């Protein structure tokens, strides 16, 4: 099962492009990539509110939309100045992110011998739109709205195993992020690290290299999903 | 979204074959087809106990396994005389049912323009095994253990729409059974009838013909899933 944002799809390029179109349409002087990074930076804090119990479970779609309002305000822009439907559409860019070039061929190859699916904080509708648009050949999609848990909550890793009638160790998480893999391992899953040095663009390659160093403890280490398929 | 047992897969042939192997291995004088019919006859009463609230939600795997014990007893056989693991394996025949010849090509054709998935009383693990073995190219699988409801409970039809962020009327149920389609229509779904005159074998073709007569009120009527794909 695959982490999606960053591991299977290139969220930063997709969101940067969508923000760029939005900014051009409204004549806004914003740096689309910086806006994308600021939007993404609000991702973990928003889920933390759910994980900590500070708020009831809310769809990732809702969190992304709330965070968009926050990022607009942080850029000195009033969300009310834009049509709500237009902001909803911009926020839906998270449903239609481009895959890394090796994702579809690698997952297709793995699917021949294994069950493949996302293990993502995305909700089911988001993951379904992503799969249809990117051509991701999942066997099944169990979104965070099905498991009712956000990673790295242990339940987010264990509930898919329960639905599939498997022991946690019969599932392998594939991810580009050490924290995700560490939590999966703690929950009993097998782990595969896939390096995505370009996730945050060339300027932050050094921080990703540091994460690569952390990869020593995983069951498998790969430089792409096609590489992982060969190892499997 | 597709009803599975009877509509997409030929449960009677699959279960008859599995029972036949089991009977041969144990030298039992049972009619495998009659045994399959008796097992299936306990399907609705078992789910009714859940739908009525008489018992908490239980996986269809559990109900099938309990019903197997009942059918054995009804045939004068003591379940305890067999190994529990062996009966578990026989019961898992419900996970590996053969598709009707038009199911895979028809669903594949429909998938090019629509989201396709099961809307079945099967649990997720069952539906996943079925899909992998039969080659059913579902976009996603939301089993009855995700919706926590058994058809014809209205929730069984409405919760998939909620997960997908759709109005019920944006989903079409494809089924070979009038009662299933009527409940789906009452829940707001669109409906497509697919005739499966061989579901119960040649001897009961007349009762299926009667169900065909009831098909007048559905949005679409088809003689196969390939035919349905052409109409869509």
Put simply, the chain A residues between 127 and 146 with a CB less than 8 A from any chain B CB are 128, 131-132, 138-143, 145-146
Mean pLDDT, chain A, whole residue set: 94
Question: Are B77 and B171 found together in one domain?
Answer: no
Tell me whether residues B141 and A140 touch, CB distance under 8 A.
Answer: yes
Contacts of B141 in chain A (CB under 8 A): 139-141
* Residue B208 predicted with pLDDT over 90: no
A23 close to B (CB below 8 A): no
Q: Where is the domain boundary, A95, A123, A158?
A: A95
Q: What would the pLDDT profile of A23-78 be if each residue is shown by its tens digit?
A: 999 999 999 999 999 999 999 999 999 999 999 999 999 999 999 999 999 999 99
Last residue of a domain, one of B95, B128, B157: B95
Domain boundary pick from B61, B95, B129: B95
- Asked if the Cβ–Cβ distance from B146 to A146 is below 8 Å, we say yes
| Domain CATH for A22 | 1.10.150.240
Helix (H) or strand (E) holding A173: strand A172-175
Nearest CA in chain A to B141: A140
- Statement to judge: residues A143 and A216 lie in one domain: yes
Nearest CA-CA partner of A216 in A186, A189, A195: A195
A chain contacts of residue B138, beta-carbon cutoff 8 Å: 139-140
User: How would you list the strands of the sheet with A190-194, edge to edge?
Assistant: A172-175, A190-194, A220-222
B142 and A139 within 8 Å at the Cβ level: the answer is no
The ipTM, to two decimals, is: 0.92
Number of domains in chain A: 2
Partners of B88 on chain A (C-beta within 8 Å) are none
- What residues in B contact A139, CB-CB < 8 Å? 128, 131-132, 138, 141
pTM (predicted TM-score): 0.94
Position B6 in a domain:
no
Contacts B170 to A, Cβ<8 Å:
none
pLDDT of res. B209: 47
Range of the domain at A137: 103-231
Q: Is the pLDDT of residue B214 over 60?
A: no
pLDDT digits (tens, 9 = 90+) for A68-127: 999 999 999 999 999 999 999 999 999 999 999 999 999 999 999 999 999 999 999 999
Is residue B203 domain-resident? yes
A2 assigned to some structural domain: no
pLDDT for res A201: 86
Cβ contact B230:B105 at 8 Å: no
- Do residues A133 and A220 share a domain? yes
Interface test with A, best of B163, B164, B170 (most A CBs within 10 A): B163
On whether both B162 and B47 belong to a single domain, the answer is: no
CATH number of domain containing A119: 3.40.50.1000
- Alpha-carbon dihedral of residues B146, B147, B152, B154, nearest 10 degrees? -170
Contacts of residue A85, defined as CB under 8 A and 6 or more positions apart, other chains included, come to none
Asked whether residue A1 is assigned to any structural domain, the reply reads: no
Do B153 and B188 reside in the same domain of the chain? yes
Of B128, B143, B146, the CB nearest to A115: B128
Put simply, whether B104 touches A (Cβ < 8 Å) is no
**Which residues 173-202 of A have a C-beta within 8 angstroms of B?**
none
Asked whether residue B82 falls in the same domain as residue B181, the answer is no
Residue B15 lies in a domain: yes
Q: Residue B147: closest CA among chain A residues belongs to which residue?
A: A146
Query: Do residue A33 and residue A78 come from a single domain?
Result: yes
A175 & A131 share domain: yes
Looking at the fold, whether B49 and B142 belong to one and the same domain comes out as no
In chain B, which residues have their Cβ closer than 8 Å to the Cβ of A140? 124, 128, 131, 138, 140-141
Tell me the percentage of chain B whose pLDDT exceeds 90: 92
Contacts within 8 Å (CB) and 24+ apart, B178-186: B178/B211, B178/B214, B178/B215, B179/B152, B180/B3, B180/B151, B180/B152, B181/B218, B182/B152, B183/B151, B183/B152, B183/B154, B183/B157, B184/B119, B184/B157, B185/B217, B185/B218, B186/B154
Assess whether A86 and A123 both reside in one domain. no
On chain B, the residues whose CB falls within 8 A of the CB of A125 are: 163-165
DSSP 8-state class, residue B175: E
User: Cis (ω within 30 of 0) for the bond into A64?
Assistant: no
**Does residue A3 sit within a domain?**
no
Question: Based on the domain organization, do A121 and A201 belong to the same domain?
Answer: yes
Residue B1 forms part of a structural domain: no
Looking at the structure, tell me whether residues B136 and B226 fall in a common domain: yes
- Residue A28 in any domain: the answer is yes
């Amino acid at each position: 099962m695959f982490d999606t944002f960053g591991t299977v799809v290139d969220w930063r390029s997709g969101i940067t492009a969508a923000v760029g179109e939005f900014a051009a349409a409204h004549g806004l002087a914003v740096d689309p990539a910086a806006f994308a990074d600021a939007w993404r930076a609000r991702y973990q804090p928003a889920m933390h509110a759910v994980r900590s119990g500070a708020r009831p479970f809310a769809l990732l779609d809702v969190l992304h939309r709330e965070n968009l309002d926050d990022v607009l305000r942080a850029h000195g822009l009033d969300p009310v100045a834009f049509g709500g439907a237009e902001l909803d559409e911009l926020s839906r860019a998270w449903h239609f992110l481009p895959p890394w070039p090796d994702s579809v061929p690698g997952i297709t190859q793995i699917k021949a011998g294994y069950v493949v699916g996302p293990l993502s904080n995305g909700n089911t509708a988001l993951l379904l739109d992503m799969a249809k648009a990117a051509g991701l050949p999942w066997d099944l999609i169990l979104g965070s709205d099905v498991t009712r848990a956000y990673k790295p909550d242990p339940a987010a890793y264990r509930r898919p195993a329960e639905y599939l009638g498997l022991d946690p160790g019969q599932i392998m998480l594939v991810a580009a992020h050490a924290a995700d893999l560490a939590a999966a391992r703690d929950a009993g899953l097998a782990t595969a690290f896939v390096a995505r040095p370009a996730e945050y663009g060339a300027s932050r390659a050094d921080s990703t290299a540091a994460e690569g160093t952390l990869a020593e403890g995983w069951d498998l280490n790969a430089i792409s999903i096609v590489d992982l398929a060969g190892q499997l």
